[in-house]
Amino acid sequence: MSDVTRRTFLRRTGLIGGGLLAAPVLGACGGGTGGGPAVTSGAVTINLWTHDPNITKTFIQSAKQLSDAPGGAFDYTLKTTQADSEALVTKMVSQGAAGTGTPDMIGIVISVFPRVMAGGIGKQLLLDLDSVVAPVKDDLLRTSPYSIDGKLYGLETDTCLSVLYYREDEFKKNDIPEDVGTWEELAEIGARLHKKTGQSLGIVATGDNTSITNMFLQLLLQRGGGYFDQSGNLTLDSPEAVEVLDFMAKGVASGFLLALPDPYGAPNTAALKNGKLIAAVMPSWYNVYGLQTNVPEQKGKWRMRNLPKFAGGGHIASALGGTGFAVLKDKPNTAAATELLKRTYLTKEGQFLRFQHGGYLPTLKSLYQDKDFLGYEDEYLGGQRLFDIYTPASQDSPVFYQNPNLNVLIEALGGPMLETLQGKKKPAEAIKEAVAAYNSKKGN
Amino acid sequence: MLSVARRRALAPYAFISPFYLLYALFLIVPIGIGGYLSLTEWAGLGTPLWVGLDNYTRLFGDASFLTAIVNTLLYVLFSVCVVVPAALLIAQALNARGLRGRDFFRLTFFIPVVLSPIIIALLFTLFYDREYGLFNAALRGFFGWGGIDWLGEPSWAKLSVMLLVLWRWTGYLTIFFLAGLKNIPRELYEAAAIDGAGRVHTFFNVTLPMLKPVTAFVAVTVMVGTAQILEEPMLLTKGGPGEATLSVAMFIYREAFTRQQLGYAAAAGVVMFVIVFLIGRTANAVLGVGREK
């Protein structure tokens, strides 16, 4: 009989298997992210990951222009990967752990950005863009959503200014003034309208937690409140938050606001199509991705204006959404990717290209005074000059501070907020409950 | 150099070693790593920080996790008590002699299993919509009322997920029951008919006992599968409203891929494994899966 027993054999094969797996795992813990010398000029293939096809088109065009420009250091070829925004970050982290296969550039959606703030992921993988933006730093509109510990890791793709979209024809038909000064006045008009015609002047979401809280966040920021302050402290427990939630709950009860499970999905489209929803507070991208896509037949009937103010104060605009574009650091193509990002995001040509391809608003303050933008008329919105609205909005839009625990807060806030919108809970009670749940859930 | 005798003794082990190597690499080692991660704090990059049993302590004090467990148990209960009997009844109907268009019906019941989850999400979000949905429209048409907030009201949202489970998986389970029904000897039905047994008596005294092994297999499979339910609540409600439809698998996904707490998610995974294992073993023991009488 052999002296190698079955048990010994299994033990040994187990050790070999463990060793085989441990090698790459340990290698991955080393944290390298790419090999080879840095490419400083000539042909370069940039690996770009994004969730947005219009961003892909923009970068392809921008890379071509940059390659063709006299004196350009790089001849760009773009290899693009398009996937769900969550999946992109998951894959980037996995590849980062494996030490290979990370992209050169990645678009990180604002709601996903807290993931790269956790565990030092952003700092380990992404390039600190502070020196890149230094020449235009004071001209940049939004940097806080993509900053970690005061350093910038992503450049905003779209300022995402929120405005009030409304059906001009329906407003005229129902004698609703287009320049109502405050939300409180508009809510009264909306309640009367709903009683008379069954129509609504806005929506609240009742589906998943992100949708529920997004509608609230938009108005809360406008009112002058917020989730977190610059230092990362929770600031939700505020009179502004209670006021905004109360405003929304009363709006739902009166019919001024329409409750829908998904603010961008099929029910919303149905409400738009049958004329039940004739106004909505939405970010700039809603024009292209919401209205023009879902109700093209209503071309010429919609207009937009700055938001009515809350009687208690606040801004004339808000913001919702956004995507920060980041460059992966310490890779052979880091310099080339940074050049491409600078050209596409920090120059007038790049910003205009982005505006043409996807309707992304400029992220540089100065461009809101530029004649090329100011003269732009939107056919869908009846030839309206968009920057008559966006320029003042850009000067009075709130700041949103990002936080690694944003998703914890959204989970904590969603349930109580929904109960408030359904009239089952008082706004102040819901805010207190959400704050308590957040504090108990956020962990270390 | 190994002696001939020793080489001969080792040869069989060499032949079977690929299986053990792959088994260890793809099953044992990942499970071990999962167990190890559950004792650490890790965001996905860098070195995991050892925290001992902290994740487990936190987990059992986490109201979201407890909600997820209760929801998952409800889904399991619904699957066993409603989906399995429904599949059996449909199989029985499809097995009826002289049924026309049998293949068409089979195909119809099986389509939900192969349909893209994206299509399912789109369809059912529309069906369930409070204002414009098919279900409320049908209720209004038949009964004159239909203002149910299927996806916005917590208890209705749970039911909505369960109905989607029913729609999606009943046809798949029907295939197993159909196969079982085909294997029941026709003589037994003839003997029951001679004894004067009616349809109900025949079903309970011939069909059900003969289907016991298939039923047990289906029940255990459904229990274990539903205990890991992820797609249905994720597609339909993303766990909402609030956390009304959150399942344990969704909780794990959320912790890992929206909060980047991989150690905490791994601890929840270990707990889910234990629950699923216990459910599986208990069901196996009670229903006697694989035991010949």
Q: What is the pLDDT of residues A141-155, one digit of tens each?
A: 999 999 999 999 999
Contacts of A29 in chain B (CB under 8 A): 46-47
Question: From start to end of A314-419, where are the E strands?
Answer: 318-319, 323-327, 377-378, 384-385
Question: How close A435 comes to chain B (CA, Å)?
Answer: 14
Residues of B in contact with A258 (CB under 8 A): 131
**Nearest CB to A207; choose among B126, B132, B241:** B241
Contact (Cβ atoms closer than 8 angstroms) between residue A124 and residue B45: yes
Distance from CA of A246 to the nearest CA of B (A): 18
User: pLDDT value at position A82?
Assistant: 94
Q: Is the pLDDT of residue A300 over 70?
A: yes
- State pTM to two decimals: 0.84
pLDDT above 90 for A72: no
Calpha distance A169→B237 (Å, rounded) = 35
Percentage with pLDDT > 70 across chain A: 92
With CA atoms as reference, the chain B residue closest to A96 would be: B45
Share of chain B above pLDDT 70, in %: 98
Which of A4, A262, A415 lies closest to B242 in CB terms? A415
Return the bridge partners of A105, or none.
A48, A327
Summarize the confidence of residues A174-187 as an average pLDDT: 95
Mean pLDDT computed over B216-237: 90
Structure confidence at residue A438 as a pLDDT band (50, 70, 90): very high
The predicted structure's pLDDT at residue B110? 85
- pLDDT exceeds cutoff 70 at A20: no
CA dihedral A70, A71, A73, A78 (to 10 degrees): -10
> Is the CB of A271 less than 8 angstroms away from the CB of B132?
yes
- Cα separation, B223 vs B229, in Å, equals 10
Q: How confident is the model at residue B121 (pLDDT cuts 50, 70, 90)?
A: confident
Give the nearest partner residue to B21 out of A13, A407, A419, using CB atoms.
A13
Q: Would you state the pLDDT for residue B281?
A: 85
- Cα of B19 to nearest chain A Cα, Å: 10
Contact check, Cβ <8 Å, A13/B239: no
Residue A63 region, left (φ>0) first, then alpha (ψ -120 to 50), else beta?
alpha
Of residues B25, B42, B237, nearest to A208 (C-beta): B237
Q: Output the pLDDT for position A308.
A: 96
Q: How confident is the model at residue A247 (pLDDT cuts 50, 70, 90)?
A: very high
Confidence of residue B3 (pLDDT cuts 50, 70, 90): confident
- pLDDT, residue A17, reads 46
User: Is the ipTM of this structure higher than 0.95?
Assistant: no
The answer to whether B131 contacts A16, with C-beta atoms less than 8 Å apart, is no
Contacts of A267 in chain B (CB under 8 A): 125-126, 129-133
**Dist. CA B162–CA B166, nearest whole Å:** 6
Please name the member of B20, B242, B261 whose beta carbon is closest to the beta carbon of A414: B242
Of B42, B64, B126, the CB nearest to A266: B126
Q: How many other C-beta atoms can be found within 10 angstroms of the C-beta atom of residue A116?
A: 31
Q: Is there a contact between A25 and B238 if contact means CB atoms under 8 Å apart?
A: no
Q: Give the pLDDT band of residue B235 (cuts 50, 70, 90).
A: confident
Q: What is the largest CA-CA distance in chain A?
A: 99
Q: In the 8-state DSSP scheme, what is residue A283?
A: E
CB pair distance less than 8 Å for A119 and B33: no
Task: Compute the mean pLDDT over every residue in chain A, rounded to the nearest whole number.
Answer: 89
End-to-end CA distance of chain B: 53
- Give, for A50, the enclosing helix (H) or strand (E): strand A42-50
Mean pLDDT of all residues in A162-173: 96
pLDDT for residue A261: 78
pLDDT tens column, B38-52? 999 999 888 899 999
Are A17 and B260 within 8 A, CB to CB?
no
Give whole-number Cα distances, B70 to B190, B244, B245, in Å: 46, 10, 10
Is residue A1 over pLDDT 50? no
Render pLDDT for B7-40 as a digit per residue (tens, 0 to 9): 888 899 999 999 999 999 999 999 999 999 999 9
What percentage of chain A reaches a pLDDT higher than 90? 76
Cross-chain residue pair B151–A261, CB shorter than 8 Å: yes
Q: Do B62 and A17 touch (CB under 8 A)?
A: no
Residues from chain B contacting residue A125 (CB–CB below 8 Å): 45
